[in-house]
Structure 1
Amino acid sequence: MYATVTVTNPNNLGMITMSLAFSLLLLIFAVVIGNLLAAKIRLIPAAFWDIAVGLLFSLLPWFHNFEMVPEVFLFVIISMLMFNEGQHTNVRKLVQNLGATLSMSVWLSLATIVVVGLITHLFLPALSWPLAFVLGAIITPTDSVAVTSITSDLKVPAPVMETLETESLFNDASGLVVFNLCIAAITTGYFSVTHAVANFIYVFGGGILLGGILGWFLIMIRLWMIRQRLNGPQIIIPYKLLIPFIIYVTAELIGVSGILAVVAAGIVHGWQQNLLKLSSSRLQITTNSAWELVTSILNGIVFVLLGISFPEVWHQLQEHSVHNLALLVGLGLVLYVVMLVVRFLWVRLRFVKIPHQRKKNRFTDSALIAVNGVHGTITLAMAFSLPLTLNHRPFSDRTDLIFVSAVVIVLSLLVPTIVLKLTLPAKEEPVTLAELDQAKSETINSAITLVQQQPTTNTTIAVIETLNSQRAEPVRSDPKKVNALMDQTRQIDHDTIQQMLADGEISVQDADTYNQMAAMMYRRQDQSFWQVTKDWWDRLIPFTKIHREHRRRKKAYLNQPASARKTDRKEWITNMRRIEAKPYAVISDFLTNLPDAFNHPEIMAVRSFYDQRHRAWNRTRDEQSAQNQLLTSAFQEEYSYIQNRVQDGGFSKALGTKLFDEIANDQMLYIQQSSAMADAQ
């Protein structure tokens, strides 16, 4: 299972590393494209978009002759995904439905393998019995990731979904154990029922036991880190991300199921996470966000790899197949139908007790569980792990078995996508995005009304800007009106400085320096293509007037002694703050006295520009503290508004819960940003 690579040339190692890194970036890019397409065209599940993008990427030179390495795939991707599935498993429900879980993941898997082996040997008599059962072990495991992707927008009955999710936690291991037993029987020529049963129990039960023990031990280490205040996200998050790899490798080294070990460890971690309650809440939120990001990317990579692998399967079939293509396609179709029937009868004849199932729903639930037996990357990974040689001879049937497995995968993805779309209603979201945006806008308006009751100051204006940034859809302003208002305020700025110069409040040099600084900020505010190009030209081209003046001032500044430079800079900053205060006050009064000043997006856009300029020159800790206090009161007003609307029936409970989450996230983000700014000052 493990290969040793000897690198004789360090340059080759560098090239290999670069190639792997670039391939990984391409895979992530493919996932991004698939997610974009899925978000734009929701009729087609994300899994199919990822597979389609994978097929296109197989044309790139980096993926020519690509063949999945099963050990790497299981170790790097599947271990992480299965650990995360375990983390989100409800332990109480799992214990209550343990009989149903074992029935679906163990006994149904074994029964399916036997039936598939019999049918396969009937179609391909030349195929040995052990190889027929190997094919059964390959195509039996279901894929929870694929099921979730296909049913994400559909209203699947809760009992059915619970059964499918718990089944997929353990049936991968059942297929892998039988697969390894059959391969061992072929290579050694020896098979013992007693030995097979004992080995199955050791691999299956040992994986669960080891995963539980190691998972708990690693939890104790993490709790010790937290108690020792070694609980920074930069420590805990990488540590937790490494846990699936540590457990998987340990389990495989002692010969038990690595997949079951990471599932068991994930379940233990999920149970322990509930015990933490609200302790270290910031760390828990950060950790959960990191896991969501990682698993989302890995889920997409799973299907992208599936798409990339298909062309190589077809290529190998054309070169090495020993059977008729139509026969192999027919066998894949028959085996898929047979597995549908076996799953349906298993549930319909009550070999498994579906939790909370109503008698009238038995037929429908049985059909749904049968159709949702989706097979995916675990199946393809096992197929690719078939040895190239058996008993020192080329394994001529390997390509055919891989192709049949691919046919079953494609059918198991297509059939439920079509059938479920036609039979199940679309999932009704308790809260639509339009409702959420409207309710949040009302909530923000209530907080702004509270702030407007305070005297208008820089602090209140800054808080109103922050509250407006909470809106999902930014308030749109008319660029022409903004530019017209900016021209007015710019003229006020210039006239105020000229008046200060005429009254003797500032010198000609002060006025010149201020005007240059103001002009630079006005140019930054104008983000048109031509203005941006002109700014770069002025900064980079040596013979422009602005560039020459900048170089002259910089040279004169650097020629001063260090102490003089420091004093000169402090005096310059103090002087600029003094000069800027008056035009800022005049412009603020002008904008405040405009009709309905705080409700026009154009006025708010212009005010935001001058507020940012003023804060850049004058921000102090006292101002930041006052802003934090006022914004805390505004957030509290938002919470109160939501609670009152839920109580009077204006908002549903689901909408209220969603709004509470949104406001809490906004408040936490602001606190983090404020802390970072305070540290920087």
Structure 2
Amino acid sequence: MASFFTILLLVVAAIAANIVFAIYPKVPLAFYEIIAGVLLSLVPLFNNFHLEPEVFMLVIIAPLMFNDGQNTDMHRLRKNINSTLSLAVVLALVTILAGGVLTHVLWGTLPLALCFALAAIVTPTDAVAVTSITSGIEVPEHVMGALENESLFNDASGIVAMDLALTAFSTGEFSLAKGTEHFLVVFLGGIAVGAILGLIIVIIRVLFQRKTLDTIAVILPFSLLTPFIVYLTAEHFGFSGILAVVAAGIIHGIQGKQLRLTSTQTQVVTKTTWETATNLLNGFVFVLLGASIPSVLNDLSTTEIHNLPLLILTAACLYLLMAVMRFLWCMLNLISLPSKETRFKDSIIMALSGVHGTITLSMAFSLPLVVAGHAFPFRSAIILIAGIIILLSMIVPTFTLPFLLPNKRVPYSADEFSDQLVKMVNFAIDQLRRSNDHSGALPGVIEVLNSQKNQSQKNANSKLVHQLLQQTENVEQATVTEMIDNGEVEAPFGWQYSRAIIFQSQFAFLSPWAKFKMWFKMFGFRFFPKISRKHFNKSFQQTRQVKMKWLKDHGQAEKFNDYQKFYLEHKDDRLPQTEKEKTDQPKQLALPVTKAKLLPAVQVTEQLQLPGSLQPRGHRPSRRPRGQQRGMSPEAKKAFSRLSQAGYDRVNGYLDAIETDDNRQEVDVIRHYYNVRRSRMTHSEATSEAENELFLMAFQFEYSYVQNISQDKDLSSELIDELHKKISMDQMVYMQSGN
């Protein structure tokens, strides 16, 4: 259970950091995650938290490196393989040697073997951290490519060098020949094992595809398990598990054309799952770094605390040494750069972009607790130095690179995309209205298409929404009256339906507080019927008196007569009174529902009829206008069905007639309300087929719109591509879920 809550808190911390970053993106996400980790250390579960390096490498690092491998541009890697090996192997080893010597000079009490171990820990770079730091600036493509390729392989260099240094420290012996041999075996063996296993896994996936077994339930777990299988296999044989998962990932990238033949849904789900998993795991890395800082400080011995200034100086000097060596490596043309004119600037960028992160952290915590039966000396101090270097490597480029590089050019803004998306959907809807005769299926299709816009109802003008709602209520009430006058439905059913739809519409657009009060009243009617009935009748009578006075003051004689006539015909519709109330109170008149627009302020109180299940005994008006209530006669159900269909068609026709570019969003809100109200009605097979046809037509109209605007030179090609991607994704989701 403790492990479950640990993972849960890590997820919560990562999500919280992403929320803050979305609100204030000027600070790199990694810093928010570190701060979230520090706050997380205050939770009792994370008190004295210590990272398990084996679990960290297997569960977090292996999937991240595998995903980096399968997303590697193989053409660029093959073209720059010499530069990659120069940075990841030669420069890494030279830096470890120079860093070990510098550490021994600055901190003479630290054994020489541990000096080299510390240098090996802080040497590997992290492309993910670089991406986080440089998310808002335009890093030259060749520089970013070199950094990404370097981070794929220099991890193994650091890990092997650290193992050799620790072996020398524990045994007191070191052989350059044996060390070199061990390095080559681990390095090349990891690549070989990863390539072989990766190729086998690709063949198995292709076989699944040919045997039509490439379903999500098979491919997705298979893909997620791949890095763990490869890592554990390589480590079992004594090779580099990190290089093995990178090589397996690269093989997957090379064989990408074959793997793309899997089903579209499987591809999308697998890609999305990997993106989500890697984002979450990257967040875990920096959250764990923040959570580990307090425990590292607590573990410092008295001697190490006194030497804290020396530890900080050592960390700063090591960081400066690595930056200088990266700068000189580029200036001495030991890696290929595209232009001599920009060599100096590129060298500075390469030096500042040597950001450290995941591997450095995991290697630091992988230091053993005990050596030869004694506590491992200087362990907390080495971890502290590694943590300081990680923070320095992130802070320095955050403040310096924006002065050297321009801000990242955004090909299109979010508002521009949203504007074109709305226009695209509106174009498709307008074309459907002009070219189809499926009037019954069209409203539902329009409702779904409007969801493509990703617009919130909160942006709609609430005043205009309520005005439109009142107008559509008038349309529906007029439809009911017309059907009663034409003898299509009986009057009692029509008035009952009218009361029900008024209650529904008013309740649907109430504020949360008003809805709470409404349900509280219903609760009272259900459990305290006598008290609630007395209170309701008192309010009911007061409302009638106000309306009577208003009718007299405004000379509404004809409406007064309708009021009186309707009451005499339907006087049993009001709530039952006690015998005393019947004796003491004069007879009050009920305004017909169709004439209830005189006083909107008091209309809701008078016309409010509670749902049947909550009504006092003896009064069961219908809340739903579809004839779904218990105990309703077949005639009533049939009448409600006719009324519902006629009102729905008439309202949608009215909305189509009044819809303009200025009120589309408000009309969409009203249309959504009527579609939801009718959503429980069973659609016929013919209607479903008509909807499918309309959706296919709509997607074609959207493609046509994007094709037309692609000729506009003011719109970027990235925006056009994103709109195409949006249509393709929506079409795929509809086809997968609808069929």
1:580-602 Cα distance to aligned partner (Å, 9 max, x none): 22233343444444474995433
Q: 1:543 maps to what in 2? A: 527
- Cα pair 1:598 1:604 within 8 Å, conserved: no
RMSD: 2.9
> Which SS does the other structure have where 2:26 is aligned?
coil
Q: In the aligned structure 2, how far is the partner of 1:252 from the partner of 1:574?
A: 72
Q: 1:624 maps to what in 2? A: 688
Shift of 1:655: 2.5
For residue 512 of structure 2, what is the amino acid of its counterpart?
A: F
Q: 1:606 maps to what in 2? A: 670
What pairs up with 1:35-114 in 2 under 5 angstroms?
35-114=18-97
> Which SS does the other structure have where 1:229 is aligned?
coil
Q: 1:11 maps to what in 2? A: none
Shift of 1:246: 1.2
Inter-CA distance 342–547: structure 2 relative to 1 (3 Å threshold) = same
Aligned residues: 646
- Cα pair 1:47 1:300 within 8 Å, conserved: yes
Q: 1:674 maps to what in 2? A: 738
Q: 1:309 maps to what in 2? A: 292
2:189 is equivalent to residue 125 of structure 1: no
* More off after superposition, 252-261 vs 647-656: 647-656
Shift of 1:121: 1.0
For residue 199 of structure 2, what is the amino acid of its counterpart?
A: W
What pairs up with 1:525-536 in 2 under 5 angstroms?
525-534=508-517, 536=519
Shift of 1:630: 2.1
Q: 2:410 maps to what in 1? A: 429
Match of 2:196 among 189, 213, 228: 213
Shift of 1:142: 0.7
1:341-384 Cα distance to aligned partner (Å, 9 max, x none): 11111121122224xx1011111111111111111132122112
Shift of 1:494: 4.2
Shift of 1:474: 4.6
Q: 2:394 maps to what in 1? A: 413
2:707 is equivalent to residue 643 of structure 1: yes
- Cα pair 2:706 2:723 within 8 Å, conserved: yes
2:126 is equivalent to residue 143 of structure 1: yes
Shift of 1:567: 12
Shift of 1:256: 0.8
Match of 1:164 among 133, 140, 147: 147
Q: In the aligned structure 2, how far is the partner of 1:573 from the partner of 1:671?
A: 34
1:412-462 Cα distance to aligned partner (Å, 9 max, x none): 111111111222111102222233223333333332331231367243333
Shift of 1:516: 6.8
Q: In the aligned structure 2, how far is the partner of 1:540 from the partner of 1:254?
A: 70
Q: 2:423 maps to what in 1? A: 442
* More off after superposition, 320-329 vs 366-375: 320-329
> Which SS does the other structure have where 2:403 is aligned?
helix
What TM-score do you get using the length of structure 2 for normalisation? 0.81
Shift of 1:641: 2.4
For residue 601 of structure 1, what is the amino acid of its counterpart?
A: Q
Q: In the aligned structure 1, how far is the partner of 2:111 from the partner of 2:400?
A: 35
> Which SS does the other structure have where 1:616 is aligned?
coil
Inter-CA distance 318–390: structure 2 relative to 1 (3 Å threshold) = closer
Q: 2:368 maps to what in 1? A: 387
Shift of 1:536: 4.5
* More off after superposition, 571-580 vs 63-72: 571-580
Inter-CA distance 502–446: structure 2 relative to 1 (3 Å threshold) = closer
Inter-CA distance 167–593: structure 2 relative to 1 (3 Å threshold) = closer
* More off after superposition, 508-517 vs 107-116: 508-517
Match of 1:466 among 444, 448, 468: 448
What TM-score do you get using the length of structure 1 for normalisation? 0.88
Match of 1:358 among 335, 339, 343: 339
2:463 is equivalent to residue 480 of structure 1: yes
Q: In the aligned structure 1, how far is the partner of 2:419 from the partner of 2:472?
A: 33
Inter-CA distance 214–464: structure 2 relative to 1 (3 Å threshold) = same
> Which SS does the other structure have where 1:182 is aligned?
helix
- Cα pair 2:304 2:381 within 8 Å, conserved: yes
Inter-CA distance 116–205: structure 2 relative to 1 (3 Å threshold) = same
- Cα pair 1:540 1:547 within 8 Å, conserved: no
Q: In the aligned structure 1, how far is the partner of 2:637 from the partner of 2:218?
A: 40
Q: In the aligned structure 2, how far is the partner of 1:469 from the partner of 1:625?
A: 21
> Which SS does the other structure have where 2:255 is aligned?
helix
What pairs up with 1:13-24 in 2 under 5 angstroms?
18-24=1-7
> Which SS does the other structure have where 1:453 is aligned?
helix
Q: 1:655 maps to what in 2? A: 719
Q: 1:583 maps to what in 2? A: 647
- Cα pair 1:523 1:531 within 8 Å, conserved: no
For residue 158 of structure 2, what is the amino acid of its counterpart?
A: G
Q: 1:287 maps to what in 2? A: 270
**Residue ranges of structure 2 left out of the alignment (5+ in a row):** 530-609, 621-628
Q: 2:569 maps to what in 1? A: none
